[in-house]
Amino acid sequence: MSKAFAHNSGAVLQLTGWSPTLIVCYSSLTMELTLKSARRSVDEIPAPLAVVGVWGGEFSEEANKLDAKYHNSLSKMMKKLHYKGDFGETLLLPLSSRDEAPGFALLFGLGKKRGVSIDTVRKAGAKLVQEIAHLGFKEAATETFLSGKFGKKEASYALAEGALLGGYTWNKYKTTTASSKRGEKLRLWLARAAGAAVDRAEIVAEAVNYARDLVNEPPNILTPAELARRASAMAQELGLEVEVWDETQIQQAGMGAFYGVAQGSANPPRFIQLTYKPQHPAGRVIALVGKGLTFDTGGYSLKPSESQIAMKCDMAGAATVLGAMRAIAKLQPQVEVRAYVAAAENMISGAAYRVSDVLTSLSGKTIEVLNTDAEGRLTLADAITYADRQGADAIVELSTLTGACVVALGEKVAGLFANDARWGREVQEAAERAGEKVWSLPMEEEYLELLKSSTADIKNTHGLTRAGGAITAALFLAEFTEKPLVHLDIAGPAYSEKSHSLGPAGGTGFGVRTLVELLCAAQPD
Ligand code: BES
Ligand code: ZN
Ligand code: ZN
């Protein structure tokens, strides 16, 4: 069951006399969502819609308060309409109108309290925003769905993050006449919320949505040069150091593996470096490396056309790293962070690299190319070597690297590979705290045999069999640094064909939340 009452809000339901304690504003292309934290409870906030939670048939504390204020009309209707409060199930009820009082209550189902996790609250935030916008309200107040399992800070953070991620839309290239281009505005009050947590959620969600925007851009617009321009603009805006190399500098630096991949495209490559320096530099330097293939046709080992459809997402690792830098610049943790992106396009032309070519990487190691579609590891090899030589103490690298990882873990879970157990655990725990799903896969050294080349030092694939393809890719990358390295294969979760619990189809911004969590871990609250 949903929506017992259809209505047309906005024009009828106006309100006056509110005073925000904190204003957080997020705007995407056409939806503008403003979050406001309040100390008051839902029934005290004069918004036209009051949202309260129902845990599998049981009212939350805030729902009970609202119910009492309105002479138990909510509980009576709930029973009468057999409303259960399964997750996402909503019931819209009118409230007898008084001055500055809500006109409607929205019961929001959260499912059974037993077994609930903070992820429930995050998903509730996303669903809630979509539901409120769908109902046509321009303003609402919601509780933060405390359950006893997590505190006010956690719930405020998760609800705000979910709302801002769920409110993301992508329709930049729809013409203004299209109905979906209609601007939606929503002001959402978070009752009894922790203001600082909401503030932080806004920074992180905005960074995730920034990464989504980059992934969603079509590849004719987001060329390597354009990616570099956007990274520079972002760095300048937020006070990060930035350096961009063009194709000549890339060649002169000796990045032969990266350049080999890039050489077939009319859109020249760029090597992008961003640096965040804390106010009092102490401790580790962490390097983030993101795969930046703005399009992957497969090269001469050409992908069938259906497999090319989603390949604008092959720069999702880069988008994630840039998104994370955006949040880091605002959150200012006490750790130095350096981001590296080798941006290129994997194309076919008379100048493109061939199967059997031998490339000399920045490390000096020679690589025999057996498959031009295994291009990501070639670009990453040089980026990892460079990050290492620049003084990284530990490296996290993210890439849409292998279809094999998608076969192993599906579209929701990233593969985590670590050459150092401690660093691997640190990243894995950060992902858990961030609510992003990663699963550790082995760096089985026996498979390194498969990458032995009779011509060069190493080959980029192990030939006809696809068995263990995610692992051999990780082993290949690990040949280019002795430093602690975590490789996250995000080929599955970086891009979603369908809309999902935290947003629409397209780029997901997967990994931004994990990186921010990882880099801020040393931060005092
Ligand atoms: N960009 C692809 C991997 C990919 C697949 C990303 C599906 C997102 C969704 C990568 O460059 C690639 O083509 N990898 C090959 C490697 C193989 C040739 C060893 C693959 O997975 O087939
Ligand atoms: Zn490829
Ligand atoms: Zn690729």
pLDDT computed for residue 14 by the predictor: 26
Query: Could you tell me the sign of the dihedral formed by the alpha carbons of 254, 469, 462, 302, in that order?
Result: negative
Whole-number Cα distances in Å, 480 to 389, 449, 489: 11, 16, 17
Separation CA 418–CA 444 (nearest Å): 11
pLDDT in tens, 213-225: 999 999 999 999 9
Other CB atoms within a 10 A radius of the CB of residue 312 amount to 24
Ligand 1 center to residue 481 CA distance, Å? 22
Q: Please indicate whether residue 123 is annotated as part of the active site.
A: no
Joined together, the tokens standing for residue 265 give: 């495209």
Nearest CA to ligand 1 atom 17: 374
- Shortest-distance atom of ligand 1 to CA 371: 18
If pLDDT is split at 50, 70 and 90, which confidence band does 525 have? very low
Q: Which of 303, 330, 365, 425 is catalytic?
A: 303
| Pocket flag, ligand 1, residue 198 (CB < 6 Å) | no
pLDDT computed for residue 27 by the predictor: 35
pLDDT, the chain, mean: 91
pLDDT value at 66 more than 90: yes
Query: 4 burial class (0-12, 13-18, 19+ CB within 10 angstroms)?
Result: middle
| Pocket flag, ligand 1, residue 292 (CB < 6 Å) | no
Q: What is the mean pLDDT of residues 432-456?
A: 97
| Pocket flag, ligand 1, residue 489 (CB < 6 Å) | no
pLDDT value at 17 more than 50: no
Q: What is the mean pLDDT of residues 308-312?
A: 97
Separation CA 236–CA 429 (nearest Å): 32
Q: Please indicate whether residue 303 is annotated as part of the active site.
A: yes
Quote the pTM value.
0.93
Ligand 1 center to residue 333 CA distance, Å? 34
- Shortest-distance atom of ligand 1 to CA 376: 11
Ligand 3 center to residue 157 CA distance, Å? 34
- Shortest-distance atom of ligand 1 to CA 466: 19
pLDDT value at 318 more than 50: yes
- Shortest-distance atom of ligand 1 to CA 404: 21
Pocket test for ligand 1, best of 303, 353, 355, 401 (most atoms within 8 A of CB): 401
* CB contact set of 494 (below 8 Å; sequence gap of 6+): 215, 313, 316, 317, 320, 400, 507, 508, 510, 511
pLDDT computed for residue 178 by the predictor: 57
If pLDDT is split at 50, 70 and 90, which confidence band does 183 have? low
pLDDT in tens, 227-237: 999 999 999 99
Q: What is the mean pLDDT of residues 240-257?
A: 98
| Pocket flag, ligand 1, residue 374 (CB < 6 Å) | yes
